[in-house]
Amino acid sequence: MRIYTGYFAKCNKYREAGLLLISTATKIPIWEHGKGILEFKQLGPTPDMLKLFKHEYEPRYYSILNKLDASVLVKYLERISKGKDVVLLCYESAASCEKGTTYCHRHMLSKWIKEKTGVDVTEYEFTVNGNKQEITNQPELF
């Protein structure tokens, strides 16, 4: 099993790729209700954190994560996925995070898992003939 990160706009593509979809957001988008996304709210920020600046947000989010055991999380993901790769989801597009126009907790989550367990968690990339394909059809949350 591999653990990836991703965002809700790509859910249909993740399903086509055979990934298990897991939300780490405060809520699943309405257009995805009833489509089999598992919710792990304990991996997400609290609703009040969504209004914070990055310098306030990051320490609060890491304090949430540090109450958890990353190795137990990885073992749990392995058990529920039954060997399938998983994608941990939230709203922000990878492109907007890379540009610095927004920030996202899933990148902090992937860094935390790596630091605590040594397991690499990367953004899921779609490729066509070996070339990375960015799929952006979702407006940004912030």
Cβ partners under 8 Å of residue 5, min gap 6: 87, 88, 89, 90, 106, 107, 109, 110, 121, 122, 123, 124
Q: How confident is the model at residue 138 (pLDDT cuts 50, 70, 90)?
A: very low
Digit-coded pLDDT (tens) for 82-112: 999 999 999 987 777 776 667 789 989 999 9
Write down the pTM of the prediction.
Answer: 0.86
Nearest to 103 by CA among 135, 70, 140: 140
Q: What are phi and psi of 127, to 5 degrees?
A: -125, 150
CA distances from 6 to 2, 21, 90, 94 (A): 13, 9, 7, 7
Cβ neighbors of 27 (< 8 A, separation 6 or more) are: none
**100: amino acid identity, one letter:** G
Q: What is the pLDDT of residues 31-71, one digit of tens each?
A: 999 999 999 999 999 999 989 988 999 999 999 999 999 99
- CA distance linking residue 18 with residue 121, whole number of Å: 17
Nearest to 7 by CA among 98, 87, 110, 91: 91
CA distance to 2, 11, 50, 69, 94, per residue, from 18 (Å): 12, 11, 30, 27, 20
- pLDDT average, residue stretch 119-140: 63
